[in-house]
């Protein structure tokens, strides 16, 4: 059934997850940014949750693609199809067309921005405006972005980590690095291969990160039974891995995130940096859930760091809040659609 009344819509087009927020309703879609296609015909077989379930469980001809993987659009057609699919599923295009705000990774190019706008318009939007991730994350975390005070947000997603200081509705200084959730997973894969002689897949690496991933030594050491294949024999094997080993595996990537935070602070005017020192740092995105990351940040920067209440939802909620200023954003984007 199609929605008869129009509702304004916010989309968080993340590298790992796409969320759709409908004004007056809240988040209605929360699915992985994954598309399954038939390698031979090029046809799309499934999108989102359904496509994700197929990974590793389908014949060789079906491959899963994450079109936004590295914070850039790897494939226009597939991204197009994915956006269309989610908008249809959200059931927001009725007789009246919705106005849509989309949050995009800040590293994407002008051409890619156009592609996103076009896909959203083709899916039945009346108007579309784009906003950048750190601003949406900060708004969603409830930071006072409009005030003349410095707020720092770190959003750690699948493909990118965005660090930004925001004041008076604008980004004062920021950095975007391609080190985030996927990089942690890859680091875990490489560590286990090199140090323990076991090969594991992407899903297992992510599961290990969920279970015993950590950034800071806690009171109790966690353990996890890792299933994979012996590097030498190729035979299935289960090995118990310690939290401290996974922390070591993740340490280089954690250092790079810390470095981005330091550089962002260095490029922040002193008054605003002083605000950040006082008010603290807010962590958003799925990566914010890494155990002890707040403690590590606090120890290294001497600034209190906090995990937002709903880190995975912040960007979608913040983009939803931006719907109230859609006209302003369109004007700011200087785009006439």
Which residues would be at the binding site for ligand ADP (CB under 6 A)?
14-17, 157-159, 181-182, 206, 209-210, 213, 285-287, 289-290, 312
Helix (H, G, I), strand (E, B) or coil at 128: strand
- Please say which residue, 157 or 318, places its beta carbon nearer to Mg ion: 157
Nearer to ligand ADP (CB atom), residue 231 or residue 307: 307
In whole angstroms, the minimum distance from the beta carbon of 264 to Mg ion comes to 18
Of 192, 189, 215, 21, give the one whose Cα is nearest residue 99. Answer: 21
Q: How far is the CB of 96 from ligand ADP (least distance, A)?
A: 29
Using alpha carbons, list the distances in angstroms from residue 97 to 124, 134, 271, 290: 6, 28, 44, 39
Q: Does 157 bind Mg ion (CB under 5 A)?
A: yes
CB of 325 to ligand ADP, least distance (A): 22
Residue given tokens 């750690």 in the structure block: 156
Of these partners, Mg ion, ligand ADP, none, which one is at the site of residue 67 (CB under 5 to 8 Å by kind)?
none
Which residues 259-318 are close enough to bind Mg ion by CB under 5 A?
315
Residues 127-156 that bind Mg ion (CB under 5 A): none
| Residue 159 touching Mg ion (CB under 5 A) | no
> What is the C-alpha separation between 122 and 138, in angstroms, rounded?
29
Q: Which of 142, 88, 84 is nearest to 310 (CA)?
A: 142
Least distance (Å) between residue 15 CB and Mg ion:
7
CA distance 54 to 185: 19
Task: Classify residue 55 by burial, with Cβ atoms within 10 Å: 0-12, 13-18, 19+.
Answer: middle
Task: Find the helix or strand (DSSP H, E) in which 134 lies.
Answer: helix 133-140
Residue in this structure with the two tokens 């008076």, named with its chain if needed? 168
User: Of these partners, ligand ADP, Mg ion, none, which one is at the site of residue 32 (CB under 5 to 8 Å by kind)?
Assistant: none
Q: Using the minimum distance from each CB to Mg ion, give the nearer residue, 140 or 213.
A: 140
Residue nearest to ligand ADP (CB): 181
CA–CA gap between residue 310 and residue 24 (Å, rounded): 18
Q: Which does 37 bind (CB under 5 to 8 A by kind): Mg ion, ligand ADP, none?
A: none
Give kind and range of the element (H or E) at residue 154: strand 151-156
Residue 136 — φ and ψ, nearest 5°? -65, -45
14 contacts Mg ion (rule: CB under 5 A): yes
**Among ligand ADP, Mg ion, none, residue 206 binds (CB under 5-8 Å by kind):** ligand ADP
**Which of ligand ADP, Mg ion, none does residue 301 bind to, with CB < 5 to 8 Å depending on kind?**
none
Q: How far lies 44's CA from each of 82, 119, 169, in Å?
A: 9, 16, 40
The answer to whether residue 71 forms part of the interface with Mg ion (CB under 5 A) is: no
Nearest-angstrom CA–CA distance, 327 and 322: 10
Name the one range near Mg ion by CB under 5 A: 13-21, 140-148, 192-200, 306-314: 13-21
Ramachandran region of residue 222, left (φ > 0), alpha (ψ -120 to 50) or beta? beta
Nearer to ligand ADP, 231 or 310 (CB): 310
Q: How far is the CB of 316 from ligand ADP (least distance, A)?
A: 9
- To ligand ADP, the closest distance from the beta carbon of 119 in angstroms equals 17
Verify binding: residue 158, Mg ion, rule CB under 5 A: no
* End-to-end Cα separation, the chain, in angstroms: 28
List the single partner that 106 binds among Mg ion, ligand ADP, none, CB under 5 to 8 Å by kind: none
Q: Which is nearer to ligand ADP, 239 or 307 (CB)?
A: 307
Number of residues that bind Mg ion (CB under 5 A): 3
Contact 176, 71 (CB under 8 A): yes
* Nearest residue (CB) to ligand ADP, 67 versus 228: 67
- Residues forming contacts to Mg ion in the complex (CB under 5 A) are 14, 157, 315
């Amino acid at each position: 059934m199609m929605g008869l009344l129009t509702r304004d819509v916010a989309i968080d087009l993340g590298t790992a997850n796409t969320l759709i927020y409908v004004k007056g309703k809240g988040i209605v879609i929360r699915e992985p940014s994954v598309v399954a296609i038939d390698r031979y015909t090029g046809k799309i077989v499934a999108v989102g949750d359904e496509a994700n379930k197929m990974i590793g469980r389908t014949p060789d001809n079906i491959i899963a693609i994450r079109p936004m993987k590295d914070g850039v659009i790897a494939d226009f057609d597939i991204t197009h199809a994915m956006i269309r699919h989610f908008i249809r599923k959200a059931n927001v295009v009725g007789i009246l067309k919705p106005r849509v705000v989309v949050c995009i990774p800040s590293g994407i190019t002008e051409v890619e921005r156009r592609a996103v706008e076009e896909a959203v318009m083709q899916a039945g939007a009346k108007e579309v405006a784009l906003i950048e991730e750190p601003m949406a994350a900060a708004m969603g975390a409830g930071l006072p972005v409009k005030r003349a005070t410095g707020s720092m947000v770190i959003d750690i997603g699948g493909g990118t980590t965005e660090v930004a200081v925001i004041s008076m509705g604008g980004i004062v200084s920021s950095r975007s690095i391609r080190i985030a959730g996927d990089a942690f997973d890859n680091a875990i894969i490489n560590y286990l291969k090199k140090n323990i002689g076991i090969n594991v897949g992407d899903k297992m690496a992510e599961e290990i990160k969920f279970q015993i991933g950590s950034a800071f030594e806690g009171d109790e050491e966690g353990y996890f039974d890792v299933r994979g294949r012996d590097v030498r024999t190729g035979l299935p094997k289960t090995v118990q891995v310690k939290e401290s080993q996974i922390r070591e595996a993740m340490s280089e990537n954690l250092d790079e995130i810390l470095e981005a935070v330091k550089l962002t602070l260095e490029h922040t005017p002193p008054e605003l940096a002083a605000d950040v020192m006082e008010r603290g740092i807010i962590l958003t995105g799925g990566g914010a859930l890494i155990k002890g990351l707040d403690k590590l940040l606090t120890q290294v920067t001497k600034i209190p760091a906090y995990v937002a209440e709903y880190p995975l939802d912040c960007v979608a909620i913040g983009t939803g809040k931006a719907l109230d200023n859609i006209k302003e954003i369109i004007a700011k984007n200087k785009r006439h659609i």
